[in-house]
Structure 1
Amino acid sequence: MPSISAPLSNCKIYLYPGDHNPPHFHVRGPNSKALINIVTLEVMAGKVSKTDLAEVRTWAAKPENLALLVAEWRRLNERE
């Protein structure tokens, strides 16, 4: 399970190979276990604390971080 290096205080971001659409990432931490849509940054499933969600959204909304998430999703999940 590839982890994305993100300076988050209480959780980590993961992308899984062979995962289902729509493109998303996983957030895991002591108070959070959720799937977040890469495009909308909305919670698709699971639960995430308000603090973790705000931090994750702030990080993921930056253009360079969004580009990283999209590139990693494509690398791990695009099928021919």
Structure 2
Amino acid sequence: MPQISRFFGIIIAMYYDDHNPPHFHAKYGNEECLIAIRDLTLLEGRLPSRALGMVIEWAATHQTELAANWELAKNLQPLHSIEPLL
């Protein structure tokens, strides 16, 4: 699972050739969730509310880059790193 960003102990990643809808994985400690790229909704899993809020804030800023990485992953191409939340 290629890591595309990391901030405040949160790891953001995408799997190659993953299932639809387009999404990314966010992991914090032992918790993990999937977030839809299009509307930034929680698809499955959970994160602590503070961590989830930071992930949504970060994703809202980088939605275009996330969508581009989804296309790369779908085509088994190397993914681009995305700047962390500061």
Q: TM-score range by the shorter chain?
A: 0.7 to 0.9
TM-score, normalised to structure 2, is 0.80
> Matches of residues 23-34 of structure 1 in structure 2 within 5 Å?
23-30=22-29, 32-34=31-33
User: Which has the larger share of helix?
Assistant: 1
d(CA) in 1 for partners of 2:54 and 2:70? 20
The CA deviation at 1:12 is 0.7
CA RMSD, 1 decimal: 1.6
The CA deviation at 1:50 is 0.3
2:32–2:46 contact (8 Å) kept in structure 1: yes
Q: Which runs of 5+ in 1 are unaligned?
A: none
d(CA) in 2 for partners of 1:31 and 1:59? 20
2:5–2:13 contact (8 Å) kept in structure 1: no
Q: Which runs of 5+ in 2 are unaligned?
A: 76-86
Is 1:60 the counterpart of 2:59? The answer is yes
Give, as a single letter, the amino acid of the residue that structure 1 aligns with 2:19.
H
